[in-house]
A and B are shown apart, each in its own frame.
Chain A
């Protein structure tokens, strides 16, 4: 009965439609219906499979096309940074550029181990025995006895339980951070860290918080802000990332205060000691020795063999768990070919030499002190680094600065060029444009222990002359 009702209804509306619709209307409706059926029955096809452009169209296209430049236009700073020197030969302290011997104050060779005879001999012997490269990553035929020896020697030197070796100093910190800190974890970073640390922090994909450079109140503020309680606190790992000696500013971290915070707020400390190992402390064991704190209170400590030890590669030391974790999770360790054997032996030799003969370090400290004192009455430039730092940053003071990065860099570049004419090689501190916090422009002087008093006095004199003539 019900179905019949519906049928009647439909019939009624259909009848009404036909009755109210006039004949021309119905005709057009019918045409449209036929057209729709025609459309629906058509099968897909691709028109003009291989159609060629006509000559005129081709011409038109060619005329319209303007090529975009292959490389983006570089700004004045990039042009300035493109200047390259060709070094013809190099000794421990000097380099030859354009047949002119210059005193090298641009290279991080703090203990003067680059070009050391004994190390050269050891390297040569290793090259004759093992060849130049090791054949693969550490986990894949790349481990040689010299690597294990260096790891053992470094652990002994640093007085930590274990050490893991990386084949590049840059990759050390930038794979140590991401191997521990993952998505959802918290990283608190000093604003003054150098580029490898910034890369590592970015690669970790964690939540990143920054605190002002060496500002402990600000660190405390951030720590308070990231203090979680309850179930969330258990699963979120928190790391504070600092550098022992900040390469970008020549300052050192207030480690005792940070360790106090560590007890209070419960975080793990990652410290990059690339520039402080072999420099700070009475026996060159870095910032922990400088402050007289236990090395093992720093959870993850990375360093470089490239700066003080005159070799290459980096290391990360800490508790056995920290090290074993990196042997499977440190990207730079797992996926990169291992350190060339001769660099490993030269690093081992350098560590041994430093341990045996502490006078190199004392000379370095003296030289730094001497250089610092000599430069402290410099007019126009101010030293922004600390008197114990082997990296001396000279930046324009408030009177001579133009308050414009590019102009300041130009002025500093002029000083560098003048100094090169007078016989010393200086360099501006150059930064990657993508860095988040770029320090103010400066000349970066790297002091090493091989410089004699006369050389230091002479270079101070030259820097003073060049500065006064340019400013």
Chain B
């Protein structure tokens, strides 16, 4: 599927949030303004028809990237550009959210939820055509056409996530941004949704930007992976490269600590340390306080993402 046509290119993307105390408090207590750099100077390209995943722990900025790409946040600096889609217009983007309970309006019927983007973007001329499209979409995601008349509360978590996917597909997107689409679901239902997403990718030629903290899911879905730590990409590799030979010490730590059901009771050495606060990031390489390979240069200079091979880029002084 590797056609080498970029669907999405992100270049030097940075997003800072103003987390200052209210103006009056700042004046009285003489405190300065406070900013958090949630995403800091990251670049990546997603090729058409592939799945690019971003993994990392909570607070590393992976969901912020998803929201920046879909335009839910404005960028602070850097740019996001979309490739050409069908008919020469820019690629359409849609998003699937994590929690299928709060992302569907409980007062709307499922049919209206899915029809809204079609009506809003005037993708069909007549109402009957819209209804036909809704029925078709419901069947595509494995629900029955009659479900259009029901309300979201009548469905289980997995079925609601199918409804979210149908709604996302309604505007005929070519790039789907999926922010933890299965982490609110049970394992047996998660498998159903992952299989559905893979099938849709094949049938509709979709491109995925997949955000997750679950490495086994990421391994199943993706072609390329970026590992994020405290707002920066520390390693960017093809999936097989990352899982067989992780380079960055943080990727190694992540892979070593995830429980492996195929090797029960292997008694891993739990590594000490926790992700630092993004408000007060460590100097140099943000990972150096936890890193077993940390050297003097790691404390002073922030490493750049460098090519290690064609399929692997690492930001680490000790490795490259």
A-B interaction: no
Q: List residues of chain A with CB under 8 Å of any chain B CB.
A: none
